[in-house]
Amino acid sequence: MSSGVRRSLRWCMSLASKFSRVVFWHTLIIILLTLTSQISMVLAFFLPLKVVILLGSSGIPNYFPESLRVLGSEFLILGLSLSAVLFYIVHLLSEHLVGVVTARASGQILLHNKKVALFQNQDIVAGNAYKRFSRMLASSCFIFLALSVISVVYLDMAAILVFLAVVVGLLIAFLERTLPSFKDYLNNQMQDAAGIVASAGFFISFVYLVLDFIFLKPPSVIVAILSLLLCRQLFSRFSAVVKDIQSLSSQRVKIDALFFHNKVLLPSRARSSKGYWPFLERERRAEWIDAVISSFVEGWEGCNKVSWHSSSSPGIAVMIVEASSAANKYLVKLYEPKNSNLAMHESTLIAEGIAGLAAPTFVGMSSLGDMSCLVCRLPSADLSVSPNVLRKAVVKLKSDMLKIEPPAVLVDRYQRSRPLLWQRLGESDLQKIKVAATEVAEVNQVDRVIDRLPIIRTILQSMPLSFVNPDVRPANIWTLAQQEEPVFVNWGRWSLEPVGAGFGVGQREISQIEKALHAAAKDRPSLKNIDAKVVELVALVSALDERYGKHQLNEALDLLGPILERLDVLNFGLPLEEADHVLS
């Protein structure tokens, strides 16, 4: 058995000890109610089969007791049908009572521990955890009872089940010792593995039953049907037990903090050993970095130095790798599984090799377990610069992005996948900004912008597109030797938006737009006839969209006045038909 499974079982035992001390009677009642529910469900499905047998028989089969046979087939059919309905009602009622008792028991445990509120919805988390635990105990009891019943009525089938459990246990132990990948699979995908075992176990039981009826000495048909139903429920409960254990273990930190006096909520420590952190240890990282880079770079001779590069992107590890015998440096980025979409998005852009784009040279994309790994080449020499120089580099790089004409194929792919700025602007969103308005004038500004929303969309749609990188900041700049140009090391959230979007709306940034536009127009003909005020309007609307998305409603209100000013200066405070004529 894997160490992760053993830890989970030991932890479940500690939970059992805790609950038995605090809510023993509640737990016992829940177990009895759950067993009643499960047994009632088995009978609710078993009795209709007997009704079908009666309907298909000319008389009453001999295996019915004499006391029932004298009642007649019609009476038996009606009685069994009503019994099936009754057992199903008992099943539903038991499940409802389980929910009621669970809520009371979890509340009593929380009161017993006398802790402050730890996180949102902690009562729901506590109730679900206690319910899963109680259901797990009840399912374990049901498995034992079902196996006992099968042993009494069909001993050969019980022997097959025990033999199957022993074989599966030995096989899992063998595979864990010989295949490290299987151990990881078992720890991470325990629920899937349990489902496979349960399905295979039921299939084997069914095959044995068929072979027994053909070649050996089978039991009666009723015993066979009952045993098969119990096997189905037994394997189903086994899969449910594993699912409950895995679900409880995934919230172990929260559950410990809720139910144990000496446990506090430390989610960051609980996650520190997961994700990419084990791969970043000094003793381990050089090995896999060499393996990844050597798969792309011919003649790679190994790492000379691996250094951490600070970035502003949680869930993405960025490292600078120096080769042993070459002048090149490599950028290696490791993405946690939740950020795999950012890895694909970034590689889609930089793999294009767009001239003038301030991005490192794409080398290759690989995977490390369930994580994505991106490798790029950086120019060799770096230059330590002051924060002031870095801030100037940010402005320069934003201006340089205006000069780049996005490839038509990339534009088409992007527009098929993601909405652009004019598609995201909605009247309902702007109406919500009124929540932050404290004066009538501010409400009127919102209404005026909503009235001009059609022309704003028309303006945005008529503008050429440009690359936008929301992560443009000093932490993401790789500064190079004086003869080189700086590059951004993080393009995971790039987008295509109308020219001016993402440029910034501070007084200094707005004042730099006209100069940047004129400089970009020399290299990009599509910008030659564009008014700088229109670009300023785009920058303001883009900032409005961003701030609303972050619920920064007061800051969004501050942008409405400048937006209306640009519209008035451009004479776009017109009806839509006249404004279209001006644009054309």
> Please, is 119 exposed, middle or buried when counting C-beta atoms within 10 Å of its C-beta (0-12, 13-18, 19+)?
exposed
**With contact defined as beta carbons under 8 Å apart, do 534 and 570 qualify?**
yes
pLDDT of residue 540: 93
- Structural element, H or E, at residue 498: strand 495-498
Which is more confidently placed, 356 or 182? 356
Say which residues have a Cβ less than 8 Å from residue 175's Cβ, sequence separation at least 6: 182, 183
Position 557 confidence tier, pLDDT thresholds 50, 70, 90: very high
Whether the per-residue pLDDT at 270 is higher than 50: the answer is no
Please compute, for residue 194, the number of CA atoms within 13 A of its CA located in the half-sphere on the CB side. Answer: 19
> In this model, does residue 231 exceed pLDDT 70?
yes
Q: Is the pLDDT of residue 420 over 90?
A: yes
Greatest mean pLDDT among 209-213, 256-260, 267-271, 430-434: 430-434
Residue 398 φ/ψ, nearest 5 degrees: -65, -40
Give the domain ranges of the chain.
Answer: 3-270, 277-378, 387-583
In eight-state DSSP terms, residue 465 is E
Residue range 434-475, pLDDT digits in tens? 988 888 999 999 999 999 999 999 999 999 999 998 887 777
Per residue in 471-493, pLDDT (tens digit) is 877 777 776 555 457 788 888 88
Q: Which long-range contacts (CB under 8 A, 24 or more apart) does 321-327 make?
A: 321/289, 321/293, 325/301, 326/301, 327/380
CATH 3.90.1200 fits 387-583, yes or no: yes
pLDDT > 90 in the chain, percent:
14
The model's pLDDT over 311-364, given as tens digits with 9 standing for 90+, comes to 667 788 888 888 876 667 888 999 988 888 888 999 999 988 888 888 888 999
Structure tokens at 361: 């040279």
Average pLDDT score over residue span 497-524: 88
pLDDT level of residue 124 (50, 70, 90 thresholds): low
Confidence band of 37 (pLDDT split at 50, 70, 90): confident
Take residue 235 and report the two structure tokens written for it: 């394997």
What is residue 109's predicted lDDT score, i.e. its pLDDT? 66
Separation between Cα atoms, residue 365 and residue 367, nearest integer Å: 7
Residue 240's pLDDT is: 80
Do 3-270 and 277-378 have matching folds?
no
Strands (E), 502-555: none
Stretch among 150-154, 208-212, 278-282, 484-488 having the lowest mean pLDDT: 484-488
Provide the mean pLDDT of the chain: 79
> What is the percent of the chain with per-residue pLDDT over 70, rounded to a whole number?
77
pTM: 0.60
- Tell which wins on pLDDT, 128 or 516: 516
CATH number of 277-378: 3.30.200.20
Q: Which CATH architecture has domain 3-270?
A: Up-down Bundle (1.20)
The pLDDT assigned to 582 comes to: 42
Instruction: Please write the tens of the pLDDT for every residue from 196-227.
Output: 888 888 888 888 888 888 887 777 777 787 78
pLDDT digits (tens, 9 = 90+) for 377-397: 887 655 555 666 667 777 777
* CA–CA separation, 543 and 556 (whole Å): 8
